[in-house]
């Protein structure tokens, strides 16, 4: 089922509650995903809003073909990369304590189990490409094909990327003393 | 962190902003497209207008040199016409030369010049004098110089020597590349590669000279170019105005050769001195009769018969040559002009030369 598409079309037909539901469904995940790129929650929040707005204005025709979520994340990624290109100097601003607390709260809304917490902690320590693909697959529950669409990679590339990401994750988890096999 | 409601409101604001930006962008794109189309049309119109303006200044048959914008095309005579000429019809104002090699290409077979006035240009505004368009002149056309909007046709050529160069050539006017292009900006241009000068003793508006090198023989020649068109529109009414006032035969004549027969193509190579047939006194009287001849609006038909023709080669002291064609009935042809005389001396000399 294409989660979100129905809300999206409802909103386009003039029902504002459709947008509210979309925001409730995807806002936190989107901010967390974008934050992985821009390393700033406030900016990630703005970019997430911008992503929704862009999807509404452009009315992508691909939403029916692929899932709404896939398309949303794809646009979010593009926005994040554009932002980094535009404002490179500010891309590595250190998080303040309040930012860190907010990020923790945001993660807790996405991460549902202890295992996922461990996984999330380890994802931060591996390469960005690896963490992205694993985040999309394990946390956003996307298929390989959908993850490939978001990350602009074909099937073969995404399979290779997942394979290497898993290896990197395993090494990291072993180093950190977590049990990889339980995941 | 914003609440979901705040985030939704933020998104709605962003949507409005983005919609406005898109509208503006679309408007700008439409405006730019229209502007680009207008500019393209304007440029196209300008270039078209400019091209039409740059049509040349030439007219040969149509003698009115009122504007610089008459297109001209020259056709070399085809075989049919050549055979017609063999029957004794001089087709154009081609004068001979003193050097055989140089003359072969021009005087042995005088080319017929066919002018096609470009009527499409008649109502076009004038272009600046310096810019001409010579699209109708192809590379096979007669040798021609375009100078100050007038066309000068090659009428004579001679091998260059220090003597001839000093005698003939005077003020350097410009260098030509051998291609008459559409955007010639020089005052002088030609389909012959060479240096153009004024000619000593002749009006610049009538005669120009060119020094050029023949690639095949590696020899340098002096070509003489005359503005035959101007003669036809000038105030010439009698022979003396052409022969004395313009060609200066009275001052510069050195000796006269002649050919008589029906095949004018071989005239150049079958010359004899006129004094072998007539006396010096008769020669003088004969020249007087030429001077007294009246201009007529004749055409080639006066030569279109099987009568013997006489070609006079008037060799001048400046090494140029003037060709004059004579017929039995008193018709005289020179430099595109036809004259008629009823002089008895003319008749006597004609019969003496054709015996």
- CA A45, CA A92: separation in Å to the nearest integer? 16
Q: Report, as an integer, the average pLDDT of B266-284.
A: 85
Distances (CA, A) of B8 to A19, A21, A68, A97, A99: 7, 9, 17, 26, 21
Looking at per-residue pLDDT, the higher value among B57 and A176 belongs to A176
Q: Do A16 and B11 lie within an 8 Å CB cutoff?
A: no
The verdict on B162 and B300 lying in the same domain is no
Partners of B19 on chain A (C-beta within 8 Å) are: 57
Tell me if A44 sits within 8 A of A28, measured CB to CB. Answer: no
Tell me if A66 sits within 8 A of A4, measured CB to CB. Answer: no
Residues 6+ apart with CB under 8 A from A16: B8, B12
Query: E-strand spans in B168-327?
Result: 169-177, 188-190, 193-199, 207-214, 219-226, 253-261, 272-273, 294-296, 309-316, 321-326
Q: Do B22 and A57 lie within an 8 Å CB cutoff?
A: yes
The verdict on B256 and B325 lying in the same domain is yes
Residue B7 has its nearest CB partner, among A16, A27, A102, at A27
- CA B244, CA B208: separation in Å to the nearest integer? 18
Three-state secondary-structure class, residue B44:
helix
The torsion region of residue A39 among left (phi > 0), alpha (psi -120 to 50) and beta comes to left
The verdict on B180 and B259 lying in the same domain is no
Tell me if B68 sits within 8 A of B127, measured CB to CB. Answer: yes
pLDDT confidence band for B145 (50 / 70 / 90): confident
| Neighbour count for residue B284 (Cβ, 10 Å) | 12
Q: What is the mean pLDDT of chain B?
A: 73
pLDDT at A179: 66
**Owner of token pair 């310096």:** B130
Cα dihedral B53→B54→B59→B63 (10° resolution): 40
| pLDDT over 70 at B186, yes or no | no
The verdict on B226 and B246 lying in the same domain is no
Q: Which of A103, A98, A8, A88 is nearest to A56 (CA)?
A: A8
Domains of chain A in start order, with CATH, are: 1-110 (1.10.1740), 112-183 (1.10.10.10)
The answer as to whether B5 is a domain residue is no
The verdict on B142 and B217 lying in the same domain is yes
Where chain A has pLDDT below 50, the residues are 91
pLDDT at B99: 38
The answer as to whether B31 is a domain residue is no
pLDDT confidence band for B102 (50 / 70 / 90): very low
The verdict on B243 and B211 lying in the same domain is no
Partners of A19 on chain B (C-beta within 8 Å) are: 8, 11-12
User: Domain span at residue B350?
Assistant: 239-354
Report DSSP letters for B237-283, one per residue: -BHHIIIIIIS-HHHHEEEEEEEEES-GGGGGGS-EEGGGTS-HHHH
User: What is the Rg, in whole angstroms, of the alpha carbon atoms belonging to chain B?
Assistant: 30
- CA B216, CA B220: separation in Å to the nearest integer? 11
The verdict on B208 and B123 lying in the same domain is yes
The verdict on B70 and B213 lying in the same domain is yes
Q: Which of B325, B312, B308, B310 is nearest to B262 (CA)?
A: B308
Partners of B1 on chain A (C-beta within 8 Å) are: 41, 45, 102, 105-106
Distance from CA of B12 to the nearest CA of A (A): 7
pLDDT at B128: 31
pLDDT at A4: 78
Q: Report, as an integer, the average pLDDT of B224-252.
A: 83
How does pLDDT run across A35-84, given as a tens digit for each residue? Answer: 888 888 888 889 999 998 888 887 766 566 677 888 888 889 998 888 88
Distance from CA of A123 to the nearest CA of B (A): 23
pLDDT at B300: 67
Percent of chain B with pLDDT strictly greater than 70: 71
| Tally of domains in chain B | 2
- CA B322, CA B299: separation in Å to the nearest integer? 20
Looking at per-residue pLDDT, the higher value among B119 and B181 belongs to B181
The verdict on B227 and B266 lying in the same domain is no
Tell me if B144 sits within 8 A of B132, measured CB to CB. Answer: no
pLDDT at B355: 80
Last residue in a domain, options B233, B268, B287: B233
Partners of B9 on chain A (C-beta within 8 Å) are: none
Three-state secondary-structure class, residue B85:
helix
The verdict on B129 and B192 lying in the same domain is yes
The answer as to whether B274 is a domain residue is yes
pLDDT confidence band for B56 (50 / 70 / 90): low
**Owner of token pair 């007038």:** B150
| pLDDT over 70 at B15, yes or no | yes
Distances (CA, A) of B179 to A63, B83, B207: 66, 31, 20
The answer as to whether B48 is a domain residue is no
Task: Report CA torsion sign: B271, B275, B278, B283.
Answer: positive
The answer as to whether B153 is a domain residue is yes
Touching A: B residues 12-51, CB under 8 Å: 12, 14-15, 17-19, 22
Backbone dihedral angles phi then psi of residue B207, each to the nearest 5 degrees: -135, 135
Task: Report CA torsion sign: B227, B229, B233, B236.
Answer: positive
The answer as to whether B13 is a domain residue is no
How does pLDDT run across B296-344, given as a tens digit for each residue? Answer: 886 767 777 777 888 888 988 888 888 888 888 888 888 878 888 888 8
Tell me if B158 sits within 8 A of B319, measured CB to CB. Answer: yes
Chain A interface, mutation test: which of B15, B17, B21, B24, most A Cβ atoms within 10 Å?
B15
Q: Which H or E run contains A149?
A: helix A144-151
Last residue in a domain, options B199, B233, B267: B233
Q: Do B11 and A53 lie within an 8 Å CB cutoff?
A: yes
| pLDDT over 70 at B9, yes or no | yes
Last residue in a domain, options B233, B262, B288: B233
The tally of CA atoms less than 13 A away on the side-chain side of residue B237 is: 1
pLDDT at B266: 79
The answer as to whether B333 is a domain residue is yes
Q: Which H or E run contains A122?
A: helix A114-123
Q: Which of B98, B230, B95, B75 is nearest to B152 (CA)?
A: B230
| Neighbour count for residue B241 (Cβ, 10 Å) | 17
Give helix then strand counts, H and E, for chain B. 9, 14
Q: Which of B190, B220, B195 is nearest to B210 (CA)?
A: B195
Q: Which residues of A lie closer than 8 Å to B, measured between beta carbons?
A: 16, 19-20, 23-24, 27, 41, 45-46, 48-50, 52-54, 56-57, 102, 105-106
Tell me how far the alpha carbon of residue A58 is from its chain's centroid: 21
Tell me how far the alpha carbon of residue B124 is from its chain's centroid: 22
* Out of A36-50, B27-41, B256-270, least confident range: B256-270
Q: Is the pTM of this model over 0.90?
A: no
The verdict on B245 and B227 lying in the same domain is no
The answer as to whether B82 is a domain residue is no
Q: Which of B16, B306, B139 is nearest to A19 (CA)?
A: B16
The verdict on B227 and B256 lying in the same domain is no
pLDDT at B131: 30
Residue B8 has its nearest CB partner, among A19, A41, A45, at A19
pLDDT at B163: 75
ipTM above 0.90, yes or no: no
């Amino acid at each position: 089922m294409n989660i979100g598409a129905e809300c999206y079309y409802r909103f386009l037909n003039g029902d504002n509650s459709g947008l509210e539901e979309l925001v409730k469904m995807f806002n936190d995940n989107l901010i967390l995903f974008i934050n992985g790129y821009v390393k700033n929650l406030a900016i990630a929040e703005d970019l997430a809003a911008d992503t929704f707005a862009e999807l509404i204005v452009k009315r992508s025709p691909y939403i029916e073909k692929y899932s709404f979520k896939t398309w949303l994340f794809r646009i979010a990624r593009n926005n994040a990369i554009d932002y980094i290109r535009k404002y490179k100097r500010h891309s590595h601003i250190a998080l303040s304590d309040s930012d860190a607390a907010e990020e923790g709260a945001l993660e807790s809304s996405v991460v549902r189990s202890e295992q996922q917490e461990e996984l999330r902690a380890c994802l931060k320590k591996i390469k960005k490409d690896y963490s992205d693909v694993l985040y999309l697959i394990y946390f956003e529950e996307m298929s390989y094909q959908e993850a490939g669409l978001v990350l602009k990679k074909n099937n073969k590339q995404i399979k290779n990327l997942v394979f290497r990401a898993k290896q990197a994750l395993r090494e990291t988890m072993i180093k950190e003393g977590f049990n990889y096999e339980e995941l | 962190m914003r609440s979901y409601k705040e985030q939704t409101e933020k998104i709605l604001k962003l949507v409005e902003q983005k919609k406005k930006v898109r509208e503006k962008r679309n408007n700008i794109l439409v405006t730019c497209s229209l502007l680009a189309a207008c500019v393209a049309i304007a440029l196209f119109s300008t270039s078209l207008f400019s091209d039409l303006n740059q049509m040349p200044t030439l007219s040969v048959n149509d003698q009115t040199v009122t504007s610089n914008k008459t297109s001209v095309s020259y056709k070399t005579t085809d075989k049919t016409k050549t055979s017609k000429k063999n029957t004794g019809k001089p087709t154009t104002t081609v004068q001979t030369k003193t050097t055989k090699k140089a003359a072969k290409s021009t005087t042995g077979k005088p080319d017929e010049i066919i002018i096609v006035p470009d009527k499409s240009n008649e109502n076009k505004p004038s272009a600046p004098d310096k810019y001409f368009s010579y699209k109708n002149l192809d590379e096979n056309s007669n040798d021609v110089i375009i100078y100050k909007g007038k066309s000068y046709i090659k009428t004579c050529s001679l091998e260059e020597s220090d003597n001839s160069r000093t005698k003939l050539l005077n003020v350097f006017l410009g260098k030509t590349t051998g291609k008459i292009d559409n955007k010639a900006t020089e005052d002088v241009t030609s389909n012959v590669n060479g240096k153009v000068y004024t000619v000593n003793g002749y009006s610049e508006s009538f005669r120009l000279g060119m020094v050029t090198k023949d690639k095949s023989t590696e020899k340098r020649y002096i070509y003489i170019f005359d503005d035959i068109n101007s003669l036809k529109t000038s105030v010439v009414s009698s022979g003396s105005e052409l022969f004395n006032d313009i060609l200066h035969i009275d001052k510069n004549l050195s000796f006269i050769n002649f050919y008589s027969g029906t095949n004018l193509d071989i005239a150049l190579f079958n010359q004899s001195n006129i004094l072998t047939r007539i006396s010096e006194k008769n020669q003088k009287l004969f020249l007087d009769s030429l001077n007294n001849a009246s201009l007529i609006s004749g055409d080639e038909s006066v030569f279109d018969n099987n009568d013997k023709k006489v070609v006079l080669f008037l060799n001048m002291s400046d090494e140029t040559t003037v060709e004059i064609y004579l017929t039995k009935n008193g018709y005289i042809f020179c430099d595109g002009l036809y004259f008629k005389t009823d002089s008895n001396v003319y008749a006597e000399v004609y019969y003496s030369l054709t015996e």
